[in-house]
Amino acid sequence: MKLKHPLPKLACHLVLLVGSLVCMFPLLWMVLTSLKPIEETMTMPPKWIPSVFEWGNYVKAVLYQREKLGYIPFLRYTLNTLYLVLMTVPGCLLSNALVAYGFARIKWRGRETLFALTLATMMIPFPVTMVPMYVLFRHLHWIGTFRPLWVGAWFGGAFNIFLLRQFFRSIPEELSDAARVDGASEFRIFWQIILPLAKPALAVVALFHFMYIWNDFMGPLIYLQDQSQFTLALGLQAYQSQHGGTEWNMLMAAATIMVTPVIVLFFFTQKTFIQGITVTGLKG
């Protein structure tokens, strides 16, 4: 028997380790900076390890107050972001699943052409549609409200439709045929048979959309006008002073708090997430 040489496997692991460290560098720098005193945040050469770990920076970041800037309602920003998550994630799952089911499991004339046109919308950059969408929402008197940020989630998106369509096509047609013989309607087949089997793919879509809403900066910047409506991504800019510099330790502490829910959520759902990515054919 031919013995496998361990060097290629070792080299592969070393490359992956180095790549992981490179990807982890910004996160590590953010966490370390959040624990530094203000005078050590911008020293040259950079000081990696703080001389004193200022754990109180996290308390100050949440209950942040400065004479010229005033109180920053971190809790209000968090509640606004959670409101958008709760308003968009269910709509994203329902609308994309319905459209994907129609493309994957129902035969009708022009299905492939319309699906190709749906995928083509992914090639349109956001700056092209930004002004027309703003004009539309202005005529609807939605500027300054949350509606432009969550209503669109109830009308589907090309990427999520594609992902769910790929998963639905992997489910045997015999299950649907058997349900039709028993007299089940198409919607009942979708709701009681296909959706329960599609939990891994739905989890992937939910996680992607959660991350998108949680980190979205451009949307709230364009459509929100009142500071009490700001989300976390938009509210972090309030830590940047216009009157004498930015307190980077406070900004990094707030950013660390903001990214923690995403990391925790992925940690608890990584098995389902990886399974959904594999089955839908997006790996590689």
> Do 89 and 219 belong to one domain?
yes
CB atoms closer than 10 angstroms to residue 179: 18
Percent of the chain whose predicted confidence (pLDDT) is above 70: 89
Distance CA 185, CA 278 (A): 30
> Do 32 and 91 belong to one domain?
no
Domain assignment present for residue 46? The answer is yes
pLDDT of 87 over the 50 cut: yes
Q: At what angle do helices 111-120 and 158-169 cross, to 10 degrees?
A: 140
pLDDT of 9 over the 90 cut: no
> Do 178 and 40 belong to one domain?
no
pLDDT of 164 over the 80 cut: yes
Distance CA 53, CA 254 (A): 16
If we measure between CA atoms, which residue out of 253, 246, 242 comes closest to residue 36? 253
pLDDT of 160 over the 60 cut: yes
pLDDT of 208 over the 80 cut: yes
Judged on CB neighbours under 10 Å (0-12, 13-18, 19+), 251 is buried
Beta bridge partners of 71: 65
SS3 70: strand
Query: What is the model's pLDDT at position 263?
Result: 86
Domain assignment present for residue 63? The answer is no
Query: What is the model's pLDDT at position 195?
Result: 93
> Do 106 and 234 belong to one domain?
yes
Q: What average pLDDT score do residues 181-197 get?
A: 92
Percent of the chain whose predicted confidence (pLDDT) is above 90: 46
Distance CA 109, CA 268 (A): 42
Domain assignment present for residue 25? The answer is yes
Q: Which tens digits make up the pLDDT trace of 106-134?
A: 999 999 999 999 999 999 999 999 999 99
Query: What is the model's pLDDT at position 242?
Result: 47
> Do 29 and 158 belong to one domain?
no
Give yes or no for a contact between 60 and 121, defined as CB atoms under 8 angstroms apart: no
Per-residue confidence band for 67, with pLDDT thresholds at 50, 70 and 90 = very low
Write out the residue range of the structural domain in which residue 209 sits.
71-279
Q: Which tens digits make up the pLDDT trace of 255-284?
A: 898 898 888 888 877 777 676 666 555 443
pLDDT of 162 over the 90 cut: yes
Residue found under tokens 């308390």: 59
Q: What is the largest CA-CA distance in the chain?
A: 76
> Do 112 and 227 belong to one domain?
yes
> Do 79 and 38 belong to one domain?
no
> Do 14 and 141 belong to one domain?
no
pLDDT of 243 over the 70 cut: no
Per-residue confidence band for 153, with pLDDT thresholds at 50, 70 and 90 = very high
Domain assignment present for residue 175? The answer is yes
For the chain, the average pLDDT equals 86
Q: What is the CATH number of the domain that holds 147?
A: 1.10.3720.10
Q: What average pLDDT score do residues 56-68 get?
A: 71
Q: Which tens digits make up the pLDDT trace of 89-106?
A: 999 999 999 999 999 999
> Do 158 and 41 belong to one domain?
no
> Do 84 and 50 belong to one domain?
no
The tally of domains found in the chain comes to 2
> Do 101 and 182 belong to one domain?
yes
Q: What average pLDDT score do residues 24-51 get?
A: 86
> Do 34 and 158 belong to one domain?
no
Whole-structure pTM value: 0.84
